[in-house]
Amino acid sequence: MASLTLYTNPMSRGRIARWMLEEIGTSYDVVVMNYGPEMKADAYRAINPMGKVPALKHGDAVVTECAAICAYLADAFPEARLAPPTDQRADYYRWLFFAAGPLEAAITNQSLGFVVPSERQGSVGYGSYDAVLNALEAHLAQREYIAGSSFSAADVYVGSHLMWGLQFGTIEKRGVFESYVDRLAPRAAHVRATELDDALISR
């Protein structure tokens, strides 16, 4: 079996990839990258030209961007059952990349104090912060998980954004979001991943 190595920092989106790795339940190595010169050095840019974490090496393959890492691992380890059958992936792909695109953009702009003027909402990929949250809320209100009847890699990604957003106040508290997060947070893999990353922070 090809080796897995996660390049991460415990105070980064690498926590999403760590949770995903814990969900698939296979062994992996961790390389902690420090912010600053180490992450921007040529040695690491050979792995991720953006000079950011996370990055995942699986044998000779390199995957960057959290949503891509989640989707890749779900496909690479089908025995973990973290992706729906191929012919049932419409919601899975839709909401995984909704979170990577409109949701993250809307949250980031909102946290920076940038509000898209109503007359310019057609120029951005998500319209407005409220429109994004309303769409996600309406979808989650009807189901236990984001895509289908079982937990998937899309829940790792969407759930991580909602957990952080609710914790740091970048996503307004709504009962649907809080209930969803409460369903995901006790998962054994999430608890393990959190403990491992928190231990790195305290070192």
> Residue range 69-82: average pLDDT?
98
Residues 13 and 71 in one domain: yes
Q: Which of 49, 81, 113 is the last residue of a domain?
A: 81
Q: Residue 39 sits in a domain of what CATH number?
A: 3.40.30.10
Look up the pTM and report it. 0.95
Task: Quote the number of domains for the chain.
Answer: 2
161-170 residues labelled b (16+ CB within 10 A) or e (exposed): bbbbbbeeeb
**Domain, as residue range, for 63:** 4-81
Q: Which of 81, 106, 127 is the last residue of a domain?
A: 81
Concatenated DSSP letters of 115-156:
---GGGGGGSSS--HHHHHHHHHHHHTT-SSSSSSS--HHHH
Residues 109 and 167 in one domain: yes
Concatenated DSSP letters of 23-43:
HHT---EEEE--TTHHHHSHH
Q: Give the model confidence (pLDDT) of 154-173 as tens digits.
A: 999 999 999 999 999 999 99
Q: Residue 118 sits in a domain of what CATH number?
A: 1.20.1050.10
Q: Above 70 in pLDDT, residue 1?
A: no
Strand pairing class (29-32; 55-58): unpaired
pLDDT of residue 116: 81
Q: Which of 50, 81, 112 is the last residue of a domain?
A: 81
Q: How far is CA 192 from CA 83, 120, 124, 184, in A?
A: 21, 43, 37, 13
Q: Give the model confidence (pLDDT) of 15-31 as tens digits.
A: 999 999 999 999 999 99
Residue for token digits 């105070």?
11
pLDDT of residue 121: 80
